[in-house]
Structure 1
Amino acid sequence: MPGLSETLSRLAAARANATQMPIPDSDRLADIASFGSDPGNLRARHYIPAGFKAVAPLVVVLHGCTQNAAGYDHGSGWSALADRHGFALLYPEQRPANNPNRCFNWFAADDITRDQGEALSIRQMIAHMISDYHIDPTRVFVNGLSAGGAMTMVMLATYPELFAGGAVIAGLPYGTATSVGAALQRMRGSGLPDAPALAELVRDAAPTPLRWPRLSVWHGTSDQTVAPDNMEAIIAQWAALQGLSVEAAQHDRVDQQARRRWIGPRGTVQIEAYSIAGLGHGTPIDPVGDGACGTAMPFMLPAEICSTRHIAGSWGIADTARAKAGPRRAAPPPPPRATARPVAQGGVAKVISDALRAAGLMR
């Protein structure tokens, strides 16, 4: 278990970084005025590309802490990819009233249970999109970063029958934390259950579907916010549900990055996992060259591999090649990182509660 001083230091650094994170002015998304009872009190945003045709796929995108929908779309390049391939996008957005750091509440029991809270709000948004835009109900996908990645696992576990596939970037397995203290420990990779227990958490979350959604998992090897052990736990959780051996992975490299794949009994890839060498906490993007994907900003990290494009390709709704080959130009300098401020005086209890709220782990 990490010591109190270490935990407070990390939370103070996260707080300093979060307060200085810019949110881009560019906004290609539109609001959905009404979509249901919205028990999770979430904002609903969406993007419909020009020339959109009925019976197209839908991609649900869940932003990370300190982000909003427009910022994540700008950084990840999802709407640019939708323009090219004609699928619709749904962006649930957290409200500061629910979580002061805009994190989805992946550790709150009332928000991660089927037909309750934030999980139900997102389910209602999807139903609205399917009805109003005649989405193909067999091609609904979900992905997210960090707390959005953890919430992606919530949606896959609580509504597995709804999704054809999901993708988790720097996220956590479903159901392993239902308190602030447990959330902190799981983020550090401590106290994660074994594979059978992880699978049981999902089996208890919803009726067993006819088939489990395909899963793509991405994690930086140098992530100091969500330990890479969580990636292995996600793989173990999803593999155990399907009777797949974690040791039976096929290994290769894509854009110079290590990839593992697990093949199901029908010869389809049920799980894939990318370990991005040297990457910290964020979404891997490739913002250079004529076929650029994404925009560098906090938690949107240049890695010479486009997770957005490869994820969509794994679902069969986009190609994985660059839009146009061209010379690679120098990557833009990384965004400045804020320096952690000294922990304020005022008592240990106040320091801890302030830090937890800043990190998005306390309402």
Structure 2
Amino acid sequence: MHKKHTLISYFVLSFFWGLAACGGSQHSPVSGVKLGSFTRHEYRSDVGARSYKIYTPSQYRSDSDWPLLLDLHGCGSNADEEARWSRFNELAELAGLIVVYPEQTAEANGSKCWNWFLPEHQGRDVGEPAIIAGITEQVRASMSIDARRVFVSGISAGGAMANILAVNFPDVYASAMIYAGCEFKGTTCTGAVALLPAEVSGELAYQAMGSAARVVPVLVIQGDRDLQVPYPNAGLIVQQFLSSNDWADDGNNNNSIAREPTQSESGSKVGGHSFDIEYYKDANGCLLAEYWLIHGMGHAWSNAASDGSPRDILLTDALGPDVSSETLRFLLNHPRPEVGVSCYQITPR
């Protein structure tokens, strides 16, 4: 199936772009709509410590369980910048979602990159994965969170670390979005295409899941003009997850999960970039992977809000589709299944 369409966002955001709540409740200076709080917190454990910020929607109440998205910034960034570029705070206000933004430190990495490329930061109980998962648990302990609707996303180095978290904590994170990231243990992807075969990466991912192994749905996003993380790496990530899902669905690598897309389509933003989407489903019709390739886009947040600074101009692309809305659409449609249910049969966009 191949059809042409114009992207229609699942959330109406035009009134909210460029806003960032940074304390108590605020109102949009454009529409007057009440926004939630954006507050700073600290996490400390025997493994390490990090700061993080939480966006809490204005309608949050503790008498019901809320979905949570943990989102990881790229190199040199921070929670405020990531929230501005992704617009996840504004989206979360409309969708009813808590967003958590961990921050890397210059002490841990001189470029403030997550250390996804080091073996000591690729396992469940060590390094930054343990710290970030600890942040997730700290938020879950202090707020009313739906354990089946905890998600992880990230861009660039944050995308690579989001991959590591999805692999090592399938019992915590229901599904993942990986944007301009790298395959699990594929450490040569910066400025090049990782050399690790996706089938090997997928088997390593399955082994890392241990007794918590399960099928993990993933949304992968990439620009085809990305020189920092060349776009073939995105295909490796997709294939890595298809491979690990093949292992996880029945404990065998027996091609129970097809490696070819079962459906594809293309579209464009009016006056902007075109894109192709591939969907990968299992034999039961469960959507396991979705891959967006945006033509003409480099290493940048697509359709991001920008403050006009040189860094924002360099690392955002207003001509791209609204991948942030698509991220929430995908993740919220992929909660962690109940026991005895392999996944939910989600109709693609």
Deviations 1:215-242 (A, max 9, x none): 0000000000001121011011001122
Choose from 163, 168, 184 the match for 1:174.
184
Q: CA deviation at 1:297?
A: 3.7
If asked which structure has higher relative contact order (CA below 8 Å, sep 6+), I would say: 1
- Residue of structure 1 in register with 2:290 after alignment: 272
User: Contact 1:285–1:296 (CA<8 Å) still a contact in 2?
Assistant: no
Give the match for residue 70 of structure 2: 60
Change (3 A) 1:120 1:217: same
Counterpart for residue 70 of structure 1 = 80
Match of 1:150 among 160, 164, 168: 160
CA drift at 1:209 = 3.2
Of 283, 293, 298, the residue aligned with 2:301 is 283
Deviation of 1:77 (Å)? 0.3
- Give the TM-score normalised by structure 1: 0.72
Q: 1:235 aligns with which of 234, 238, 244?
A: 238
Aligned position for 1:314:
330
In structure 2, the partner of 1:5 is none
Letter in 2 for 1:197: V
1:155-188 per-residue CA deviation (whole Å, 9 max, x = no partner) reads 01111121111001100011122xxxxxxx3223
Q: Which residue of 2 aligns with 1:299?
A: 315
For residues 203 and 210 of structure 1, do their structure 2 counterparts lie closer, same or farther at Cα, with a shift above 3 Å needed? closer
Contact 2:206/2:213 (8 A) holds in 1? no
For 1:140 and 1:66, locate their aligned partners in 2 and report how far apart those are by CA, in whole Å. Answer: 26
- 1:98 and 1:218 map into 2 onto residues whose CA distance is 27
1:164–1:25 Cα change, 3 Å: closer
* SS of aligned partner of 1:44: strand
Stretches of structure 2 lacking an aligned partner (at least 5 in a row):
1-17, 23-37, 247-256, 269-273, 335-349
1:246 aligns with 259
CA-based RMSD = 2.3
What secondary structure sits across from 1:197 in the alignment?
A: helix
Q: 1:262 aligns with which of 250, 258, 280?
A: 280
Please point out which of 199, 205, 213 is paired with 2:208. 205
1:73-222 alignment, distance < 5 Å: 73-177=83-187, 185-209=188-212, 211-222=214-225
Distance verdict in 2 for CA 1:248–1:208, change over 3 Å: farther
Residues of 2 paired with 1:141 and 1:265: CA distance? 25
In structure 2, distance between residues paired with 1:225 and 1:236: 20
Greater strand content: 2
Q: Tell me which protein shows more helix as a share of its residues.
A: 1
TM normalised by structure 2 equals 0.75
* Residue in 1 that maps onto 2:59: 51
Amino acid at match of 2:314: P
Aligned identity (percent) is 25
Deviations 1:64-119 (A, max 9, x none): 01111111101110000111111101111001111111111111122221111110
C-alpha displacement of 1:287: 5.3
The answer to whether the 8 Å contact 1:169/1:282 transfers is no
Paired letter, 1:30:
T
Q: Report the alpha carbon displacement of residue 202 of structure 1 after superposing the two structures with TM.
A: 0.6
Amino acid at match of 2:119: A
Give the direction of change, closer, same or farther, for the CA distance of 1:262–1:191 in structure 2 (3 Å limit).
closer
Gaps of 5+ in 1: 1-23, 178-184, 289-294, 319-363
Preserved CA contact (<8 Å) 1:95 1:102: yes
Give the CA deviation at 1:38.
5.9
